[in-house]
Amino acid sequence: MGFLSLLMVASMPVVQVLLIGLLGAFLATKNINVLTPTALKDINKVVFMVFTPSLVFFSFAKSITLQGIISWWFMPVNIGIIFLLGSILGWVIVKVLRPGRHLEGLVIANCTAGNLGNLMLILIPAICAEEGNPFGKIDVCRENGITYVSLSMALGGIFIWTHTYSFMQKDGILREKMKLNNADLEAYQIQTVPLLPDENVSEKKQHFMEKLKPTLHRIVEELMTPPIVAVIVGFIVGVIPWIKSLIFGLNAPLRVLQDSLKLLGDGLLPCIILILGGNLTRGLHKSEIKTSVIVAIICTRYIVLPIAGIGVVRAVKGLGLLPSDTLFAYVLLVQYTLPPGMSIATMAQLFNAGQEECSVIFLWTYLVAALAVTAWSSVFMWILT
């Protein structure tokens, strides 16, 4: 596949995001005033409670099998490495550039959580549809690609709605506290973070389980969010063949559930992008994010992580630990090169945590993604073929 063809294929999903985002920005302007702040918040609740769980459950339950879990074992490890590296780099950025304590979680989230589902769901099948692609027959490539991307989407949901969710939640709590009073932030952090207790005599005498309760409560709370519940239920359905056959398949007796879930899941991406565009109108005027922080996030996502990904995937492939399908290795590499996940915008709206700053970060990262994803895709295919 030529570079120009690859450019068109790789840039198309990013251009779609930008166009729909511009529509959301237009609808949120004062003259149109369709996407008011209240409307954006209400739509976001529907995305969080309905659209995201529907898409995650549909993708995970339909694609997962016990055999697949065994042969694709490295994908969750790969995503874990991405989140680990992104967290370390994000931590360095917030310590060096100091964007503000109420924005630290947002910065780390944008360095760690990539768009592991929606963008790849457009990109991978589009590359497979090109004649002369290096991944084999179009039909086989497309079927395998959608399966890999569905697994990536579901696994990414687990990481995003636990790891990233906790960072965004802390930002929201801190921001609310700042609105209530101007007390010392350091003192507030000690009061609210259960893992850093006061060193007074009474706390030292507390029983270990008493200290552990707040942490356990927080973990359970995060695991009970609708997207994570959808992943758990989807996993159970996916690995039990007789339950899966009741819902998924042309002759499934409950096929109407499959069609209904897909219909709801299809509403996720346009709603999130419209919310993103709506927040952008405020973000361009009120954003507190520094230009240097945006540049650092872009360098992390499109320079450091892709280079690290090449080293990780080549090493694992050289040890013979990956399936023989080259497309699987390609999907692993692309996971290192994606712009921030749309779920970050959902969380920013949900917790009122840096909505304007999130919109500005997304604007620039998705603009750069049009070129970065294309360039790295060419490099990845050259490496694998």
The mean pLDDT value for 79-101 works out to 92
User: What pLDDT shows up at residue 197?
Assistant: 47
Q: Is the pLDDT of residue 135 over 60?
A: yes
Of the candidates 293, 272, 241, 259, the one whose C-alpha atom is nearest the C-alpha of residue 345 is 272
pLDDT, position 218: 60
What is the average per-residue pLDDT within 14-24? 81
Express each pLDDT in 222-264 by its tens digit: 667 788 788 788 888 988 989 999 998 888 999 999 999 989 9
- pLDDT, residue 284, reads 63
Mean pLDDT is highest, among 26-40, 71-85, 104-118, for 71-85
Residue with the bigger pLDDT between 383 and 12: it is: 383
pLDDT of residue 119: 74
Percent of the chain at pLDDT exceeding 70: 82
242 φ/ψ angles, rounded to the nearest 5 degrees: -70, -30
Could you give the CA distance from residue 245 to residue 316 in angstroms, rounded to a whole number?
35
Contact 6, 382 (CB under 8 A): no
Would you state the pLDDT for residue 95? 92
Q: Write down the pLDDT at residue 195.
A: 43
**What is the rounded CA–CA span in Å between residue 319 and residue 315?**
6
Mean per-residue pLDDT, 325-345: 89
pLDDT digits (tens, 9 = 90+) for 165-222: 888 888 888 877 777 765 554 554 545 444 444 445 445 445 556 655 665 666 666 6
Higher pLDDT, 143 or 86: 86
Say whether pLDDT at 81 is over 90: yes
Q: Please report, for residues 5, 121, 160, the alpha-carbon distance to residue 308 in angstroms, rounded to integers and kept in the order given.
A: 26, 23, 20
Phi, psi of 96 (to 5 degrees): -85, -45
Mean pLDDT of the chain: 81
Q: Dmax over Cα atoms in the chain, in whole Å?
A: 71
Per-residue model confidence (pLDDT) at position 3: 60
pLDDT computed for residue 205 by the predictor: 45
